[in-house]
Amino acid sequence: MKRRKGRLNIIEIVDEKTVRKIGIIREVSRPQRLKVEAWVLSQVRQRGVNVPKVLQYSQNEKGREVLLLERINGRRLSQEKSKQNARVMFEVGSQLRLLRGSMENQGWGWFDSTSMLGKFSDWRSFLKFYLQEYGNSIKDRGTLTEGELEKLLLSLNKIDFGEVTPSFVHRDIKPSNILIDSNRKVWILDWENTIIGDQLFDLAAFGVRYGEGEFWKNLKKGLNFEEEILSPKYQLYKILALIGVIDFYQKYQLNIGKKYFQLHRLIQQFNP
C-alpha cells in the first residue's frame, strides 16, 4: 500500500479504485474538517465540478477522521509554464465559477460540522476573525507589528462587501491539487479548507503563492474576474491569504523566505 504522510493528513492508496485520507491533526477552528470536506465534495459534485466521489466517512479507533474516496488516475498539474498547463487553469476557474451564488442564506466562513452552515453572520465578521486569529499569531512571532495589524482591522470597516455573493471558496488551489486524467478531464482535489465566502479570495490566494503570471491570468479568465482585481477588496484578500500562509509555515517551522517582505510591502501599499 502506498502511503504519504503530510502535516495534517495521511493519504493511503488502498487499491486501483480507492484512496483513504486520515486526519492526524485536530484543529480548534475546524475540528471535523474531513467531515466537512465529505459534505462539500457531494455538494460541488452536484453542481458539475469534477471531484472524487465520497465512498465513506467515519472515525477510527483512535478517534481520527477517515475519508474514503474514489481514486482518480491521472497526472498532477505541472508548474511548468506552458500554454497547455495555463489552459488547465482556465478550466479550473470555469469549474469554480459554477459554484458562485451556491450558498445563499447559509452563513459565512468556517462550516459548523453539525449543520453544515457557515459559523458567521456576514463575510466581514469572518474576515475580522481570520485576521485577528492568524494576524495575532504571526504578530506574537514577530512577523507582524501591532500597528500593521491595527491598520488592517480598521481597513476592514472601510471596504464595501455588499455585493459579495456567498459561494464555496476552495482556499487551496494549487498545481498539486489539480489532476488531469487520460481523457484530459480536469479534476480539483482536496476541499478540506473550504469556506463560504467570496470566490475572489481564491484568485488572490493563488496570486500570492504563485505570482500573477499566465496560470493566474487564466484562472482569472475562468472565474470571470476583471475589474474586481483593481479593488481594495482584492488587495486585502492578498494580505489575508499571505498572513494565513505565513502562520502555517511558522507553525510547522517552514522557511517563510520572501513572503515576509512580500507581506510588509503589500501592507505598506494598501490604502482602501
Domains delineated in the chain: 2-70 (3.30.200.20), 74-269 (3.90.1200.10)
What values do phi and psi take at 160, rounded to 5? -90, 115
- Which residues on neighbouring strands pair with residue 70, listed in sequence order? 18
Mean pLDDT value across the chain: 95
Grid cell at residue 176: 498539486
Global pTM reads 0.95
Condensed to tens digits (0 to 9), the pLDDT of residues 75-92 reads: 999 998 889 999 999 999
Can you give the pLDDT at residue 21? 97
Condensed to tens digits (0 to 9), the pLDDT of residues 104-142 reads: 889 999 999 999 999 999 999 999 999 999 999 999 999
Q: What share of the chain is helix, strand, coil (3-state, %, to 5)?
A: 45, 20, 40
Condensed to tens digits (0 to 9), the pLDDT of residues 214-264 reads: 999 999 999 999 999 999 999 999 999 999 999 999 999 999 999 999 999
Can you give the pLDDT at residue 109? 96
CA dihedral 103, 130, 36, 121 (to 10 degrees): -40
